[in-house]
Amino acid sequence: MRAPIIMLTARGQESDTVRGLEIGADDYMTKPFGLRELLARIRAVLRRAGGARAEGPEEIRLGRAQVNFATGRVLRGRREMVLGYYEGEILKMLHAARGSVVERKDLLKEIWGLENEPMNRSVDNHVVSLRRKIEEDAAEPRHILTVHGFGYKLVV
């Protein structure tokens, strides 16, 4: 899930508002503003965000690892770990396409909103972290596989 963003700022020029919306804000409010207006705008962005959520499983099992997206926890054996936001988003995309390759560029675009960033290692670093939580042996992954030159594939 992507959290809606409302920018609350003292910068009220049109160029500031346009820039804020262009970089990803869902709404933009300049000070001073009333509490009732702020609450109405929060309800509006939450309403819009609720309809855009991708449906997916609340929980998945990969080998001995049980991943609960709702609580953000991974349980592998007796060890419980926190699932980071980006790790969860990567795993959701891989799970939705399980068995097929998900390209790095698609992960960067969908999760980080970045395009044409071939040197960005964010995806790879989060996959390494995710493997440490999911895999029995992160050096020899059985579930989150690298497809060299393309991206990653989830094998259930």
Domain co-membership, 38 together with 81: no
The sign one gets for the Cα dihedral 130, 86, 102, 47 is: positive
Q: What is the pLDDT of residue 145?
A: 97
The answer, yes or no, to whether residue 107 has pLDDT greater than 80, is yes
pLDDT for the residue numbered 50 = 66
The CATH number given to whatever domain includes residue 34 is 3.40.50.2300
Co-location of 67 and 43 in the same domain: no
72 and 145 both lie in a single domain: yes
Domain count, the chain: 2
Whether residue 80 is found in the same domain as residue 12: no
The pLDDT assigned to 52 comes to: 45
Task: Give me the pLDDT at residue 66, please.
Answer: 96
Would you say residue 122 has pLDDT above 70?
Answer: yes
CA dist., res. 156 & res. 135, Å (int) = 12
- 25 and 86 together in one domain: no
Each residue's pLDDT tens digit, 61-105: 999 999 999 889 999 999 999 998 889 999 999 999 999 999 998
Which CATH number covers residue 63? 1.10.10.10
Kindly tell me if the per-residue pLDDT of 128 is higher than 60: yes
pLDDT at 41: 84
Separation of CA 58 from chain center: 15
pLDDT tens for residues 8-48? 999 989 899 888 888 888 889 999 998 888 888 888 888 77
Same domain, 40 and 78: no
Chosen domain end from 52, 69, 85: 52
39-51 tens-digit pLDDT: 888 888 887 776 5
Instruction: Report which of 79, 84, 51 is spatially closest to residue 135, judged by C-alpha positions.
Output: 79
Does residue 1 fall inside a structural domain? no
Structural domain harbouring 128? 59-154
